[in-house]
Amino acid sequence: MQQVQSALDRLRALAASHPVSALAAAFHDAGHELALVGGPVRDAFLDRAVTDLDFTTDARPERILEIIAPIADAHWDIGREFGTIGARIGGEQVEITTYRADQYDGVSRKPVVAFGDTIEGDLLRRDFTVNAIALALPELRLVDPTGGLEDLLAGQLRTPIEPEVSFGDDPLRMLRAVRFTSQLGFHLDGAAFDAVTAMAPRIDDISAERIRDELVKLISTDTPRAGIELFVETGLAERTLPELPALQLERDDAHRHKDVYEHSITVLEQAIDLERVRRPDDSPDVVLRLAALLHDIGKPKTRRFGPRGQVTFHGHDVVGAKLARKRLRALRFDNDTIAETARLVELHMRLFNYEGAGWTDAAVRRFARDAGDQLDRLVILIRADITTRNQRKSDRLAFAIDDLEARIATLREQEELDAVRPELDGDRIMAILGIGPGRTVGEAYRFLLDLRLDEGRVGEDAAEQRLLEWWRERGETPVESQRTRRADD
């Protein structure tokens, strides 16, 4: 078969490259086995770029260090207790792991490491058969004790041993199955699907950090839909991201609204497409993708039914932002990711709220000020949120966004919109009003900021007069008398 022959040619070329050939020679000369394993071998058959070089060997960690020391630019113990040594050889980073026969006690989250003696035994303990294929070096012999090659060609995910045992050993493998359906475009075989569905509660045994990392990898794939749908269908989402399956709102003939769950996945897909167009060379934008997937999670809590069958979700943006913060915090996301994602969820309706009334310069300034450094992401999210099949409505909304972006660009040139500030700072405010530091200074500052946003630049003299008018309207002592009283004190 041409696909197999092409893969073998790619593997031969990879084996001849540095550092693979250097490592193969070093371990052979030392009397030890070495094999390229897992992702690099799998991806050669899928005609995908090789991004990691993972090796397995019968040598123990101390012996690995002895063998690679003469040829490595650097080496480190990235997981020595698990038998893994990292190194940089000829500018390439590699990982070399001793054959393993991990054993789990079924209670704790960590494996009890037991080093193995054969590559076949090592491959049996891996997550899926497509990742359990090795290329023995330097003889270039494929080692495939579990039928991984057939599964690769069939586009199937299957565990090397009984799925209940494999997932019981490490429940995170259930989330890896979800991710691989999107990353590789494969389907989960029936036995594995049944096992995941039955064992979904075991995902509770996995740390939030490991779950978070798998979710990030899932939404970072080019086409995450299949994985997300499997995530929800198996019940894993209910245990880890319950706000997502909650979007599957019940519908009936009397109360009609679009499928919020389906809409959310479509928004994610459209956000990814727009991201590729606007930032073709950048890595996946995790914040944007999280916001796209979660932007409507406030709808289940805010759904209300009107007397004529209409359905409303008033305030779902604000409620959704709170829910996003809570869930991302529980999944141990960093503070910046939490804040940025929640802000996008909170602001995603801003265009739709303003669109019907038209955009004044003041509204454009406020939109940009409120979005801050999330402005570009917010515009992408708002565009992606247009999923209506009504072409006239879709065209109208797209035109509104185009117009908004043009207005922002114009105002940026005219007013340096990225750094909008009042024309009087805190020191000037205190000097003009004759007051010291305190809450009143902040209130005056916000008044001047609103003035700046509503009317643009008015000049420092006019800003001072407007500040004094605001001060007098509050019933405060005129500035001259205030200053005199302070001097007398």
Rounded-to-integer distance, Cα 336 and Cα 356, Å: 33
CATH 1.10.3210 residue window(s) in the chain: 245-419
pLDDT of residue 253: 45
CATH 1.10.110.30 residue window(s) in the chain: 157-240
Strands 74-79 and 84-89: antiparallel
Rounded-to-integer distance, Cα 246 and Cα 258, Å: 14
pLDDT of residue 456: 80
Q: Which range scores top for mean pLDDT: 3-12, 213-222, 457-466?
A: 213-222
Rounded-to-integer distance, Cα 464 and Cα 259, Å: 53
The per-residue pLDDT for range 299-312, each reduced to its tens digit, is 999 988 887 777 88
Strands 134-137 and 74-79: unpaired
Strands 53-57 and 187-188: unpaired
Cβ–Cβ < 8 Å for 245, 209: no
CATH 3.30.460.10 residue window(s) in the chain: 1-154
The per-residue pLDDT for range 326-363, each reduced to its tens digit, is 999 999 999 999 999 999 999 999 877 555 556 777 78
The per-residue pLDDT for range 373-387, each reduced to its tens digit, is 899 999 999 999 998
| Residue 211, both tokens | 């779950």
Architecture of domain 1-154: 2-Layer Sandwich (3.30)
CATH of domain 157-240: 1.10.110.30
Rounded-to-integer distance, Cα 237 and Cα 175, Å: 10
The per-residue pLDDT for range 3-62, each reduced to its tens digit, is 788 888 899 999 999 889 999 999 999 999 999 999 999 999 998 888 889 999 999 999
The per-residue pLDDT for range 415-430, each reduced to its tens digit, is 665 557 888 988 899 9
CATH of domain 245-419: 1.10.3210
Element (H, E) at 113: none
Model-level pTM? 0.81
Which residues share a beta bridge with 79?
84
The larger pLDDT score, comparing residue 137 to residue 390, is at: 137
User: Tokens 């972006």 identify what position?
Assistant: 405
Rounded-to-integer distance, Cα 275 and Cα 341, Å: 16
